[in-house]
Amino acid sequence: MKAVRNVLEFLEGNGVKYVFGIPAGSVNAFYDQLLDFPEITPIVTKHEGAASYMAASYAKYSQQLSVCIGSSGPGGTNLLTGAANAMREHLPILFLTGAVPVSTMGLNASQELDAQALFQPITKYSVTVLDSANLLDEIVKATQIALSGIPGPVHVAMPIDVQMGNVEKLPIPKIEIERHPPIDATLVKQVADHLLQKKKGFIFAGQGVRNSVAQVLELAELLNWPIVATPVAKGLFREDHPLFSGVFGFAGKNDTSLFVNEGDAETLLVLGSSLGETATSNYNPNLAKDRFVIQIDFDSTVFNRKYPVDVPIHGDMSEGLTKLIEELKARGLERPTTVKAIGRESSADTEEEFNTKNVLRKLQEFLPTSTRYTIDIGEFMAYVIHDMEVLEEDTFDINVHFGAMGSGLSAAIGSKLAEPNRPVVAITGDGCFFMHGMEILTAKEYKLPILFVVMNNARLGMVYQGHTLQYKRSHPSFEQEPVNITAMAEALNIPNFRVDSFEDLSQNVLNALTYLNGPAILEVALVDNNIPPMGDRVKFLSSFGK
């Protein structure tokens, strides 16, 4: 049998349902054999980069391995941004690339590329298989690495002759996943000692608590401590929880920033955050200043990276929180009868001005509370973080961590495939749309009812605003002649509506664009000259170079 058939039997046997990518000569053997595996659906995208973002979103919300494939040469290089993004988000993706025949390597063959070397620094494992007999073993090894310890992307380059080589039919290997090291009980006791002595503190939660939200809330209620979220963790905690203080970092609330910078908390408990630039308001020293810092994370490399940590606890987040809660309860700590509500800044406006903030909040009024918003990169992202309400848990996907324009468009497709019953809305801008907007055709071809909201201001808004704050001027090339995106949607036979004023938004309009048998576009033609609510980032950019 063909070596690549063994690979597909392995993927099918381990629950892989989708393969994201684009067919090409160097991977056609894979796609040919895929015809015999109806349980695996190929999601053929318009660009390999978009395929990688879809695979990332699918891995995140299905909590399973994703598979993404591209041709040798340009197909592989188009996947690189997505691999780097997956590495930052700790998402298990098996990247497969085709390669020229082994016999022609080094001869400048068409689309020849050493993809192994390119993927090496942005994946957990990258290899080129030179013998058909080793292909399955390397795929299995890469998969185990992707799912073990700190999850992350891996890459296997498959020369076309290696894929097509004949091998014996092999039994489907069992994946042996290495788990996180057990939580150190001594450190848990040490943390409990401190928490019972120091009554004032707060929890600083990042994306690493995605699957442990209930435990974070239980711990917060036991301690009666506020929860502060990073921008990428927005959406994990409901806005109406009395202990939720808001988002700190890029586009965070002013009250939350004041609380972190000037509050009397003695202890900082960091959960699942690498304490990067956007999470800490440009590495603000006040976050940990004069505070006892405890950090729990499955990635030991985040400890003491920028902020000194007094007690680092390495291991699984859920296990760590469970053991800490049990230890505190065993010592007699009980949840207070009444949990003290945290004062929070209101986002309400008295005037219905046609601006980005009001449009986004009005949209949310017309959409189901369970809607997941996948947010692209642009000035609208600051308004989403700062002003949109979290009405149900896990309803925002904000990739400000790596910041790849266009990723939000494709994340909507991956999210919808992972959770078909959850309403999904992508919020993007014209700049992002012009990069990866044709993926709306992918959504159409697979009959995915996703609403794509395009904030069209005919400029690279984040670049324009940031540049103007830094240099008090911006280059005219940051702006462009306005393009009618609904006219483009009309040509693609996709339902659409254009918003030119605040009065154009209504429940009837949203009803007409949702619950369809495919995607729809809502174009918001709006030039908002207000400075986006980027929080301390505004001060940082305004003072840059002074």
Q: Label residues 67-86 b or e (16+ Cβ within 10 Å = b).
A: bbbbbbbebbbbbbbbbbbb
The tokens for 234 are 């927005």
Task: Give me the pLDDT at residue 201, please.
Answer: 97
Helix (H, G, I), strand (E, B) or coil at 481: coil
Query: Which CATH class name applies to 3-164?
Result: alpha beta
Q: Would you state the pLDDT for residue 82? A: 96
The DSSP output letter for 453 is E
Q: State how far the Cα of 181 lies from the Cα of 66, in Å rounded to an integer.
A: 24
Placement of tokens 């497969």 in the chain: 96
Q: 185-330: which CATH topology?
A: Rossmann fold (3.40.50)
pLDDT of residue 542: 52
Q: At what angle do helices 317-330 and 185-197 cross, to 10 degrees?
A: 50
Q: Is 183 left (phi over 0), alpha (psi -120 to 50) or beta?
A: beta
In sequence order, what are the residues at sequence separation of 6 or more whose Cβ sits closer than 8 angstroms to the Cβ of residue 369? Answer: 391, 392, 395
What pLDDT is attached to residue 400? 86
- Name the one residue in this structure whose structure tokens are 């009395």: 242
- Residue 213: the pLDDT is 97
DSSP states of 277-321 as a string? Answer: TTTTTTT-GGGTTT-EEEEEES-GGGTTSSS--SEEEES-HHHHH
* Alpha-carbon separation of residue 511 from 245, 368, 496, 520, 542 (angstroms): 33, 11, 12, 11, 42
Q: Which residues pair with 203 in a beta bridge?
A: 227, 269
The per-residue pLDDT for range 279-306, each reduced to its tens digit, is: 999 999 999 999 999 999 999 999 999 9
Write down the pLDDT at residue 430: 94
Strands 311-314 and 372-375: unpaired
Q: Which fold has domain 356-542?
A: Rossmann fold (3.40.50)
DSSP classification of residue 450: E
Note the pLDDT of residue 472. 74
For the chain, the structural domain boundaries read 3-164, 185-330, 356-542
> Is-same-fold flag (3-164; 356-542)?
yes
Q: pLDDT truncated to tens, each residue of the chain (546 aa)?
A: 899 999 999 999 999 999 999 999 999 999 999 999 999 999 999 999 999 999 999 999 999 999 999 999 999 999 999 999 999 999 999 999 999 998 888 888 878 899 999 999 999 999 999 999 999 999 999 999 999 999 999 999 999 999 999 999 888 888 889 988 899 999 999 999 999 998 899 999 999 999 999 999 999 999 999 999 999 999 999 999 999 999 999 999 999 999 999 999 999 999 999 999 999 999 999 999 999 999 999 999 999 999 999 999 999 999 999 999 999 999 999 888 776 666 666 555 556 899 999 999 999 999 999 999 999 998 899 999 999 999 999 999 998 878 889 999 999 999 999 999 999 999 999 999 999 999 999 999 999 999 999 999 866 656 656 667 677 787 777 778 889 999 999 999 999 999 999 999 999 999 999 999 999 999 999 988 778 887 665 555 555 555
What is the 8-class DSSP label of residue 36?
T
pLDDT (0 to 100) of residue 179? 87
**DSSP letters of 187-256?**
HHHHHHHHHHH---EEEEE-GGGTT-HHHHHHHHHHHT--EEE-GGGTTSS-TT-TTEEEE-STT--HHH
pLDDT of residue 170: 81
pLDDT, position 402: 83
Cβ partners under 8 Å of residue 120, min gap 6: 126
CB atoms within 10 A of CB 57: 29
Q: What is the pLDDT of residues 141-184, one digit of tens each?
A: 999 999 999 999 999 999 999 999 999 988 888 888 998 889 99
- In 34-90, which ranges are E strands? 41-44, 66-70
